[in-house]
Chains A and B, each alone.
Chain A
């Protein structure tokens, strides 16, 4: 993605409006120090450290209410100041990564749980609420919010909506897009609207009007700022059961994954396949510290949750299928530990090695492709062919951490998967040339995904550098990107909301 020319948008300088911003949110909630701004240049996606300064916002604003957000947007719209909303900064598509400096609108001060309704089974929250913290409150009334991404311990509801995130529990409990009844959104001009299933706050279904709630899932902060959300909450499961089966080959594991998926079991949280390269990677320093038998090449995890009766019946069925497919049960300790670490396992920077075997610190990235079952083997083998080229050529810069293959969901365990290849990247060693190599890798992966009839992104978003051109010019070329541009220009005529994201500056080309 070449540097975008924003000059035609005649942006003002946010630094000229500090006093007005302080009048809106309070002096202590407007941050101008370099380090406060610099740390908000990055989301969780690989960061171009070699050009850090280009992405540092001019000012950080921490609003505390819908009224403050609306006032900031009105000011920004008046003076044409770019605004980038920021949740936890845990997104993996660079949604919160400023491309035109301006204001980072850090939403985390708005973190109240406003209401827990244990009769209608909803929770009304502000966008800065984190799911793990929400569940600590919900469990007091036997409720559970099932959104369960890798960032479960840190991401916030507003960001989950902005990224249209995916959940490892989504095959059982739905993804974030399925778990919102309604929300309040501040539009780029400061107008405050309610969108939901129709106009109801707590209904889960309606046929009144267009499905406008869905518009704001995955918008990556380009259409407005979410300021209040009504969430759908499930009962806290009576029990859970994780299990891990080892296989002597990819083919056996792949077939077992399919059979689990079409088994008709309704209480699956998800089925997860670990391919050869993933098992090899984990064998370096398997966080459960339980060595796998050497003949095990791949593994499939089956996790169930629900009533004791249904989980007990389902676990018997799972064992029966696994045995039939040649799977070896890897023991209770492995499954217990691995399931509980599923969020944290990505983040140990020391997992990576150079050719010599030295530990090199790298940052995890996940190419979060969606792939249909029939093309899965060709796809994951092909992913490794691509990644290995770059790992071999650029020693100590990239690592291939293997593939996880998760049931894509929502509410189903068959059909398609999050078929992610985990690629680690050494950001401190980045140069313009190495960064370009990284983008080449991403472009190759994105193109290959579409060649295999998948989608470039199942959960993070398609607006990352390297992917975005393939997404807008190829994946969404059938009309979706054209509609995106029209909607963007209609709602944000001055292009102040996260400008440059998703190539949406093209909406304003004559």
Chain B
């Protein structure tokens, strides 16, 4: 699977004192020309803040204004951090939804936001709260410079090989923040007779880095592809949907077609369930609902497998909202965690809003399929006291299989 939809002229940086290129002005006009802003009422940041500057329309119009001498680049530091990169606006924009396939031209707000964050950073125009993001990038670089053993310490005792046809790529966030997720994945796959290999030393391809330093991110991407090839991968399983969206969209964009198949863990587990390789021995007698990860649902159009898995779990009573309704939802973290780090209060507001929607359908458990969603909802639950338990889908699958995680 590779989803390619991008504009080459985005590679041309926007800089102070340099006129905005005609291609960029035209691109921004394509969104300004609509002015009906179908993007806005479904944008989680806009819904939280009600400031139209922070919407696909606002961002494109800011740059159009810049091209017409009606804006100053040095004032736009905070303009592009107000975006979860969730992809709702670009998929819903009539230019995409009603014209994109016909004209092969669509709205590409997520790319625009990433580009502008990089372009502004390169000129020292920084957003408020960027220090937290810079700290995280430094932290990851320390891990990358450190020992292999630390990067794979989450896999201790699991005896996972380092070579194989099927390799599970475990990113830095899972390795250090939500290790129960890759651990659950590994245990499930092992019990299903499909133990994957893992990399000794994954490289950094986080959202924070993609927003800040494309060259460094591409170095990481190239290293990952080489390492996966060297490990013998014909199929690569991702356990972080952000990384999945990068492997499916960004890696092929910059590096060409990958030499292996890419699959998200929920698709892989769903196939194992359908093939009878995963057997459930325990019931999960709870009222549940499911939160579609933005990067999976909105960026990649992937929403079916988690629903089928949940339907297969014994004892579960599920009330899951339509993936279209969930275009408006977000856990609050953002596909780039830069959002949560720079704007923690808005993150919290967005997260609370989503958890209350889960409460509305009467759920006791909010099933997630993303480690960032899990961490974000857990933090929000503690802070707000909202009575609903965020649980990763793999943890429930493991529990129903009788596996302790």
A428–B95 CB distance below 8 A = no
Compute how far the CA of A31 lies from the CA of B75 in the bound complex, rounded to whole angstroms.
11
- 19 further A-B pairs in the complex, CB-CB below 8 A; given A40-B52, A108-B52, A348-B99: A35-B76, A35-B79, A38-B71, A39-B53, A39-B65, A41-B70, A42-B61, A52-B70, A89-B37, A90-B35, A90-B36, A111-B50, A153-B38, A154-B40, A285-B99, A287-B99, A350-B30, A361-B29, A362-B33
A106–B30 CB distance below 8 A = no
Q: Which residue of A lies closest to B77 (CB)?
A: A33
26 residue pairs bridging A and B, Cβ less than 8 Å apart: A33-B71, A33-B72, A34-B70, A35-B62, A35-B66, A35-B70, A35-B79, A36-B53, A88-B40, A90-B35, A90-B36, A108-B50, A108-B52, A109-B51, A154-B37, A154-B38, A287-B98, A341-B98, A344-B97, A347-B33, A348-B94, A348-B99, A350-B95, A361-B29, A363-B34, A428-B26
Compute how far the CA of A387 lies from the CA of B358 in the bound complex, rounded to whole angstroms.
52
User: What distance in Å separates the Cβ of B8 from its nearest Cβ neighbour in chain A?
Assistant: 18
B26–A361 CB distance below 8 A = yes
- Cβ of A132 within 8 Å of any chain B Cβ, yes or no, is yes
- Cβ of B308 within 8 Å of any chain A Cβ, yes or no, is no
The interface centre, meaning the residue of B58, B97, B98, B103 with most chain A CB atoms within 10 A of its CB, is B98
Compute how far the CA of A343 lies from the CA of B62 in the bound complex, rounded to whole angstroms.
25
Contacts between the two chains (Cβ within 8 Å), count: 139
Compute how far the CA of A128 lies from the CA of B40 in the bound complex, rounded to whole angstroms.
12
With A39-B52, A39-B58, A133-B41 already in contact, the answer to whether A349 and B95 are too (CB < 8 A) is yes
A344–B38 CB distance below 8 A = yes
A347–B34 CB distance below 8 A = yes
- Cβ of A491 within 8 Å of any chain B Cβ, yes or no, is no
- Cβ of A53 within 8 Å of any chain B Cβ, yes or no, is yes
A363–B50 CB distance below 8 A = no
With A62-B50, A89-B52, A344-B38 already in contact, the answer to whether A427 and B29 are too (CB < 8 A) is yes
Partner of A38, one of B35, B57, B61, B99: B61
Compute how far the CA of A347 lies from the CA of B38 in the bound complex, rounded to whole angstroms.
10
With A53-B70, A350-B105 already in contact, the answer to whether A154 and B53 are too (CB < 8 A) is no
Partner of A347, one of B65, B94, B103: B94
Chain A residues with Cβ below 8 Å from B57 are 39
User: What distance in Å separates the Cβ of A356 from its nearest Cβ neighbour in chain B?
Assistant: 17
Q: How many residues of A contact B (CB 8 A)?
A: 53
- Cβ of B254 within 8 Å of any chain A Cβ, yes or no, is no
Partner of A349, one of B34, B61, B71: B34
User: What distance in Å separates the Cβ of A308 from its nearest Cβ neighbour in chain B?
Assistant: 24
- Cβ of B141 within 8 Å of any chain A Cβ, yes or no, is no
Compute how far the CA of A41 lies from the CA of B32 in the bound complex, rounded to whole angstroms.
12
- Cβ of B25 within 8 Å of any chain A Cβ, yes or no, is yes
A346–B51 CB distance below 8 A = no
A88–B25 CB distance below 8 A = no
Compute how far the CA of A424 lies from the CA of B76 in the bound complex, rounded to whole angstroms.
31
Nearest 3 A/B pairs, CB to CB: A35-B71, A348-B99, A38-B65
Residues A330-344 near B (CB distance < 8 A): 341, 343-344
A52–B95 CB distance below 8 A = no
Map CB proximity to A onto B1-39 as digits: 1 under 8 Å, 0 otherwise: 000000000000000000000000110011011111110
Q: How large is the interface on B (under 10, 10 to 19, 20 to 34, 35 or more residues)?
A: 35 or more
Compute how far the CA of A458 lies from the CA of B37 in the bound complex, rounded to whole angstroms.
23
Chain B residues with Cβ below 8 Å from A109 are 50-51
Chain A residues with Cβ below 8 Å from B325 are 136
User: What distance in Å separates the Cβ of A156 from its nearest Cβ neighbour in chain B?
Assistant: 9
- Cβ of A150 within 8 Å of any chain B Cβ, yes or no, is yes
User: What distance in Å separates the Cβ of B30 from its nearest Cβ neighbour in chain A?
Assistant: 5
- Cβ of A6 within 8 Å of any chain B Cβ, yes or no, is no
Chain A residues with Cβ below 8 Å from B37 are 88-90, 154
- Cβ of B68 within 8 Å of any chain A Cβ, yes or no, is yes
Map CB proximity to A onto B343-363 as digits: 1 under 8 Å, 0 otherwise: 000000000000000000000
The interface centre, meaning the residue of B25, B57, B62, B65 with most chain A CB atoms within 10 A of its CB, is B65
Chain B residues with Cβ below 8 Å from A90 are 35-37
Q: Which residue of A lies closest to B97 (CB)?
A: A344
Chain A residues with Cβ below 8 Å from B30 are 349-350, 361
Chain A residues with Cβ below 8 Å from B71 are 33-35, 38
Chain B residues with Cβ below 8 Å from A88 are 37, 40
A363–B102 CB distance below 8 A = no
Compute how far the CA of A363 lies from the CA of B95 in the bound complex, rounded to whole angstroms.
12
Map CB proximity to A onto B63-96 as digits: 1 under 8 Å, 0 otherwise: 0011011111001100100000000000000110
Residues A115-146 near B (CB distance < 8 A): 128, 130, 132-133, 136
Chain B residues with Cβ below 8 Å from A341 are 98
Q: Which residue of B lies closest to A140 (CB)?
A: B360
Chain B residues with Cβ below 8 Å from A428 are 25-26, 29
- Cβ of A18 within 8 Å of any chain B Cβ, yes or no, is no
Partner of A151, one of B26, B36, B50, B65: B36
Compute how far the CA of A128 lies from the CA of B70 in the bound complex, rounded to whole angstroms.
27
Compute how far the CA of A88 lies from the CA of B41 in the bound complex, rounded to whole angstroms.
10
Chain B residues with Cβ below 8 Å from A344 are 38, 94, 97-98
User: What distance in Å separates the Cβ of B17 from its nearest Cβ neighbour in chain A?
Assistant: 16
Q: Which residue of B lies closest to A289 (CB)?
A: B102
Compute how far the CA of A348 lies from the CA of B94 in the bound complex, rounded to whole angstroms.
6
Map CB proximity to B onto A26-55 as digits: 1 under 8 Å, 0 otherwise: 000001011110111111100001001100
The interface centre, meaning the residue of A36, A40, A62, A359 with most chain B CB atoms within 10 A of its CB, is A36
Q: Which residue of B lies closest to A128 (CB)?
A: B50
Compute how far the CA of A347 lies from the CA of B33 in the bound complex, rounded to whole angstroms.
8
A39–B51 CB distance below 8 A = no
Compute how far the CA of A154 lies from the CA of B38 in the bound complex, rounded to whole angstroms.
6
Chain B residues with Cβ below 8 Å from A24 are none
User: What distance in Å separates the Cβ of A154 from its nearest Cβ neighbour in chain B?
Assistant: 5
Compute how far the CA of A154 lies from the CA of B37 in the bound complex, rounded to whole angstroms.
6
- Cβ of A81 within 8 Å of any chain B Cβ, yes or no, is no
Chain B residues with Cβ below 8 Å from A41 are 70
A52–B98 CB distance below 8 A = no
User: What distance in Å separates the Cβ of A117 from its nearest Cβ neighbour in chain B?
Assistant: 19
Compute how far the CA of A43 lies from the CA of B36 in the bound complex, rounded to whole angstroms.
9
- Cβ of A345 within 8 Å of any chain B Cβ, yes or no, is yes
Q: Which residue of A lies closest to B54 (CB)?
A: A36
Chain B residues with Cβ below 8 Å from A43 are 35
Q: Which residue of A lies closest to B39 (CB)?
A: A154
Map CB proximity to B onto A274-306 as digits: 1 under 8 Å, 0 otherwise: 000000000001010100000000000000000
